[in-house]
Amino acid sequence: MHRENYINVLREEIVETVANHLTPSALKYGYSEIPLETNIKWRPMVLLIGNYSSGKSSLINEFLGAEIQDTGQAPTDDSFTVITYDETLADDAKIQVTEERDGKVLLNDPEYPFSTLRKQGQRFASHFRLKKCNSPFLKDLAIIDTPGMLDSITERDRGYDYQDVIGDLAQKAGLVLVLFDAHKAGTVREAYKSIRETLSAATFEDRIIFVLNRIDECTSFNDLLRVYGTLCWNLSQITGRKDIPMIRLTYSPNAAPKTVGAAGFRKAEYLPLLENQREDLRRAILDTPRRQLDHLASFVEVQGERLIHYMEALSEYREKRRKFRFQKILTGVLVSGLFGAVTAFSVLMLGIPDMILMGSAAGVGAAVFMIFWMSVVQKRQEAAFHQHIQTNIDTLTDVEDQTRKDSWEAVRELVRKHLAKGKGGYSLFELRRDLAILRQRTAQASQEIREAMGEVAALSDDEEADFDIPILSINEISKPVGLGDAYYENFRYTI
Ligand SMILES: Nc1nc2c(ncn2[C@@H]2O[C@H](COP(=O)(O)OP(=O)(O)OP(=O)(O)O)[C@@H](O)[C@H]2O)c(=O)[nH]1
Ligand SMILES: [Mg+2]
């Protein structure tokens, strides 16, 4: 089996591992409302964002080898288009759009990872679509073209939360290309917000590539340097980084003559020197499936770590609550006993020295007091305890090192929210058992994934990989022990 296939099989197996071994506990204990694999289950995605008319659609057409997306000088396309592979046509068929589906299908079909965007409403659904295309470029990935960013537009004009959608898609994407054009190297407002806030929250620096596009339109090499300098300055201001992020310089040869006018078009002499940049960009895009494997491997480790930390905190809460309850009940029993004794003594003081009567009075007195204790005092104390823990949530965990600090930071609010909601419908015993299983499975999965990743790194492009299916032996354990059939049948996904 070749490297690409090995990567694909491994990707599917990592997703399966998440679905089988992390998701059941994540859903059961309220760590997540949707299956954890929702964002990673589909093919690797490359997201293109950027100013309007920065040449996003033209560059996509360039890579796909056909006019798949509409292009034009004015803000042309106000839709999000997911372009994916269609393998049904013969290899030598002309590259074309083979099927189009509208947003509603895309948002509701569980095959696709876009159900999280349903909350954006009707306006968004009508600006979201899928195109299938037989370009070989798409064999192992999908591309998402987006509406150009503008200065004047507001959320109300768009009718959905544009930044939220970009953030959601960036989170799912293995690579995000941020395009600027030579005319608008000073960034527009929406682009500023996307880079400064949305992308930094949704993805990682190493998944973002900045591209200065349409460089053929610079009038001279000097002009190109000025534009490049302006963009570097703007980007360092936006990102707040001292080092300048790597910027690829490119253009779409097929679009270029159209804009300048075939007669007036003269290929600038610096362009041939920069052709390799588009090739680098093409390679970076095609490398997304492999890069995404790294992301998936760390996804399993990070989510595993966080989920374990989350469940540990819940377990600590239950443990504390059990001790507290036991102490208070014991106090109740002692006080009730005392109350019974006082009742018996009162009977004696009334001048009735009858042992049976005194004993009955003590029993009734103690029982009445205990009922009062359990129904009033105990309840109040438990409510106060519950409240106390929520305001002192950090007492539920030790954060002995930076990794633990980071994972606690990520789950602290989730724990608080979960406790605020109430009971949870599981026992401490179950929680501990599931936690022990999860610890063991996460360790095994991380170890096996690391070994398989080592295998990928050692393989060259045309080398045959020698391996058994499944690559990860953890997938032979298909259902987590302890979360049995009843759990799967009774559980309702709350997407
Ligand atoms: N000279 C030149 N023109 C380009 C290049 N890329 C795109 N164009 C032209 O610029 C215009 C806008 O290109 P699009 O690809 O539609 O840009 P976009 O970023 O998709 O625009 P929106 O979808 O409206 O945000 C079109 O007229 C293209 O022909 C390029 O590299 N060089
Ligand atoms: Mg476009």
pLDDT digits (tens, 9 = 90+) for 74-91: 666 688 999 999 988 887
* Across 174-188, 306-320, 322-336, least confident range: 174-188
pLDDT for position 159: 80
- Distance between CA atoms of 331 and 104, rounded to whole angstroms? 60
CA 424 to mean position of chain CA atoms: 24
pLDDT for position 53: 86
Query: Residue 21: pLDDT above 70?
Result: yes
> Which residues are within 8 A (CB) of 151 and not within 5 positions of it... i.e. 6 or more apart?
188, 189, 190
Angle at CA of residue 278, ends 277 and 283, nearest 5°: 95
Q: What is the mean pLDDT of the chain?
A: 84
Ligand with the closest atom to the CA of 73: 1
pLDDT for position 211: 93
Average pLDDT over residues 224-248: 82
Q: What is the pLDDT of residues 22-60, one digit of tens each?
A: 999 999 999 998 899 988 889 999 999 988 888 999 999
Task: State the helix-helix crossing angle for 379-391 and 288-349, rounded to 10 degrees.
Answer: 150
Neighbours of ion ligand 2 (CB under 5 A): 56-57, 77
- Distance between CA atoms of 93 and 134, rounded to whole angstroms? 8
**How far does the centroid of ligand 2 lie from the alpha carbon of residue 223, in Å?**
25
> Which pLDDT band holds residue 413 (cuts at 50, 70, 90)?
very high
- Cβ(434)–Cβ(482) under 8 Å? yes
- Of the ranges 145-159, 256-270, 278-292, 467-481, which is most confident? 278-292
**What would you report as the CA-atom Rg of the chain, rounded to the nearest whole angstrom?**
31
**How far does the centroid of ligand 1 lie from the alpha carbon of residue 129, in Å?**
20
> Which pLDDT band holds residue 264 (cuts at 50, 70, 90)?
very low
**How far does the centroid of ligand 2 lie from the alpha carbon of residue 56, in Å?**
5
- Distance between CA atoms of 211 and 310, rounded to whole angstroms? 39
> Which residues are within 8 A (CB) of 495 and not within 5 positions of it... i.e. 6 or more apart?
33, 34, 38, 115, 116, 118
The b/e string for 326-365 (b: 16+ C-beta within 10 A; e otherwise) is eebeeebeeebeebbeebbeebeeeeeeeeeebeebbeeb
Query: CA dist 439 to 154, 173, 212, 396, 400, Å?
Result: 46, 28, 46, 18, 18
**How far does the centroid of ligand 2 lie from the alpha carbon of residue 264, in Å?**
25
- Cβ(126)–Cβ(150) under 8 Å? no
Cβ < 6 A, ligand 1 pocket: 50, 52-58, 71-73, 75-77, 147-148, 213-214, 216-217, 251-252, 255-256, 258-260
Name which of 211, 252, 281 is nearest 59 in CA terms. 252
Nearest CA to ligand 1 atom 23: 77
Instruction: Report the DSSP beta bridge partners of residue 51.
Output: 149
Q: What is the pLDDT of residues 351-393, one digit of tens each?
A: 877 888 889 989 999 999 999 999 999 999 999 998 998 889 9
pLDDT for position 198: 80
Query: Residue 156: pLDDT above 70?
Result: no
Pocket of ligand 1, candidates 58, 61, 278: which has the most ligand atoms within 8 Å of its Cβ, to mutate? 58
- Distance between CA atoms of 37 and 40, rounded to whole angstroms? 5
Query: Residue 439: pLDDT above 90?
Result: yes
Domains of the chain: 42-286 (3.40.50.300), 304-490 (no CATH)
pLDDT for position 326: 93
Measured from the Cβ of residue 424, the count of other Cβ atoms closer than 10 Å reads: 15
pLDDT for position 237: 77
Q: At residue 212, what are phi and psi to the nearest 5 degrees?
A: -95, 110
> Which pLDDT band holds residue 495 (cuts at 50, 70, 90)?
very low
**How far does the centroid of ligand 2 lie from the alpha carbon of residue 178, in Å?**
13
> Which pLDDT band holds residue 263 (cuts at 50, 70, 90)?
very low
- Cβ(282)–Cβ(63) under 8 Å? yes
